[in-house]
Amino acid sequence: MRLREEGRDVIVLSVGEPDFPTPVHVKEAAQAAIARDDTKYTAVDGSRALKEAIAAKLSRENRLAYPLEQILVSSGAKQSCYNACLALLDRGDEAIVPAPYWVSYPDMVRMAGGEPVIVHATAERGFKIGPNELAAAITPKTRLLFLNSPCNPTGAMYARDELAALGEVLEEYPKVAILSDEIYEHIAWGERFVSFADACPSLLGRTLTVNGMSKAYAMSGWRIGYAAGPLPLIKAMTSIQSQSTTSACTVSQAAACAALTGDQQFVRDMCTVFEERHDIVLEQLAAIPGFDCVPAAGTFYLFPNIRRAMERVGAATDVEFCERLLEATGVTLVPGTAFGAAGHLRVSFAASLDVLQTALRRMHEFVAGTSRV
Ligand code: PLP
């Protein structure tokens, strides 16, 4: 903000939402909802039409058969995750959070009175945890495991056999619920995306599948997410939501319904653009001295290790590196520390290729010591 006010040319590569407009037919559905005065509360758990669209989507795309009473629509997947933490965790309960993690998980766990237990996944292991690491992290206090595939911030995606291997461990611990955050499902080009509950059907009774409209349909501001899971958990989450926010925005629910039931070409086209950008950004990041970057299988993020580059520019931490980069070049990135992975940074490619190229050139010059900005 300050730099912008000073007239500096700031390039923001720290955003977590697609740089595409919401599809026209989705916006029209919202306008139609307003025109027909569809502007009052819906049932707390969501409109019947949207829940039917979600059930059909889960069946069609994820091979998951959820009856409507096992689906809860919320004001974003973030609220779905938070509802789940409040419903599942008591004081002192542990929740396993693989790192690098989406920034909100550990704080949500703490806000619900629980203790996040961080399991570090390294770049060498594709930023994914394996069965041994999972087993080592489980204690008698463990109540919840977060999984996020494809992952914000690394873009890592678990294959079916990798999910099944984690599932085998979890078979032994019936008190552990699984929250599978699948919000980047449609922004993926690696292997085929697989839902955790599809890979581990025997764990369906304690898996909460979370998804939402923000990423796949470029609808972050509409605030619609949803969760599907075991009936007692969905009921508890619905009670919590009932006393905190009631139903999600009715007009947005009509829009979400149109997105899920309408033409899906938009989703495919957007994903193609993200994949093209991914390939270009990956190549250019790899060319920056001291940047080591593994490819992503999905999302619109890359997560290079910058330890050698930090040394090169004399930055003690990734936070300092990002601050100095911003001061010197106007490029904003999120330091890996925010995601539980110091020595990295997250590059979002939810920006046009022109903007990305300029930002990458500035980053390169900053690290190479030839900054001209
Ligand atoms: N889960 C992950 C992994 C995310 O990256 C985000 C948003 O950045 C969310 C959930 C929140 O999505 P929503 O906009 O539906 O609340």
- CATH code, domain with 346: 3.90.1150.10
- Packing angle, helices 104-111 and 77-88, rounded to 10: 40
Cis omega (within 30 of 0) on the bond before 98?
no
- For residues 157 and 255, state if they share a domain: yes
| Per-residue confidence (pLDDT) for residue 335, from 0 to 100 | 98
Q: Is residue 196 part of a domain?
A: yes
Select from 261, 288, 320 the last residue of a domain. Answer: 261
At residue 272, the 3 state secondary structure works out as: helix
- Those residues whose C-beta lies under 8 Å from the C-beta of residue 222, and which sit 6 or more positions away, are 22, 30, 213, 214, 249, 252, 255, 256
- For residues 248 and 289, state if they share a domain: no
- Packing angle, helices 48-62 and 250-261, rounded to 10: 30
Q: Which residues pair with residue 99 across a beta bridge?
A: 120
User: pTM value?
Assistant: 0.96
| Ligand 1 contact via 248 beta carbon (within 6 Å) | no
- For residues 144 and 200, state if they share a domain: yes
Q: Is residue 323 part of a domain?
A: yes
| Residue 6 exposed, middle or buried by CB count within 10 Å (0-12, 13-18, 19+) | exposed
| Per-residue confidence (pLDDT) for residue 2, from 0 to 100 | 73
Our CA dihedral for 212, 217, 218, 222, rounded to 10 degrees, sits at -50
- For residues 128 and 173, state if they share a domain: yes
| Ligand 1 contact via 216 beta carbon (within 6 Å) | no
Query: Which residue has the least CA distance to atom 5 on ligand 1?
Result: 152
Q: What CA–CA distance (Å, rounded) separates 344 from 335?
A: 6
| Per-residue confidence (pLDDT) for residue 6, from 0 to 100 | 79
Cis omega (within 30 of 0) on the bond before 230?
no
Q: List the pLDDT tens digit at each of the 373 positions of the chain.
A: 677 777 788 999 998 999 999 999 999 999 999 999 999 999 999 999 999 999 999 999 999 999 999 999 999 999 999 999 999 999 999 999 999 999 999 999 999 999 999 999 999 999 999 999 999 999 999 999 999 999 999 999 999 999 999 999 999 999 999 999 999 999 999 789 999 999 999 999 999 999 999 999 999 999 999 999 999 999 999 999 999 999 999 999 999 999 999 999 999 999 999 999 999 999 999 999 999 999 999 999 999 999 999 999 999 999 999 999 999 999 999 999 999 999 999 999 999 999 999 999 999 999 998 765 5
What is the number of domains present in the chain? 2
- For residues 269 and 130, state if they share a domain: no
- For residues 245 and 284, state if they share a domain: no
- For residues 121 and 217, state if they share a domain: yes
- For residues 355 and 243, state if they share a domain: no
| Per-residue confidence (pLDDT) for residue 303, from 0 to 100 | 98
- For residues 9 and 38, state if they share a domain: no
**Ramachandran angles phi, psi of 369, nearest 5°:** 80, 25
- Taking CB atoms within 8 Å and a gap of at least 24, the contacts of 308-315 are 309/367, 310/343, 312/367, 312/369, 313/366, 313/367, 313/369
| Per-residue confidence (pLDDT) for residue 369, from 0 to 100 | 85
Q: Which atom of ligand 1 lies nearest, measured to the CA of 299? A: 5
- For residues 255 and 349, state if they share a domain: no
**d(CA 154, ligand 1 centre) in Å:** 14
| Ligand 1 contact via 137 beta carbon (within 6 Å) | no
- For residues 170 and 319, state if they share a domain: no
Select from 261, 282, 303 the last residue of a domain. Answer: 261
Q: Is residue 77 part of a domain?
A: yes
Q: Is residue 146 part of a domain?
A: yes
**8 A C-beta contact, residue 350 and residue 303:** no
Angle (nearest 5°) at CA 38 between 34 and 40: 120
**d(CA 155, ligand 1 centre) in Å:** 14
At residue 315, the 3 state secondary structure works out as: coil
**d(CA 224, ligand 1 centre) in Å:** 10
Select from 261, 292, 314 the last residue of a domain. Answer: 261
Q: Is residue 239 part of a domain?
A: yes
- For residues 249 and 325, state if they share a domain: no
Domain of 75 in residue numbering reads as 24-261
| Per-residue confidence (pLDDT) for residue 199, from 0 to 100 | 98
| Per-residue confidence (pLDDT) for residue 7, from 0 to 100 | 78
Q: Is residue 373 part of a domain?
A: no
Query: Which CATH number do you get for residue 237?
Result: 3.40.640.10
| Per-residue confidence (pLDDT) for residue 372, from 0 to 100 | 53
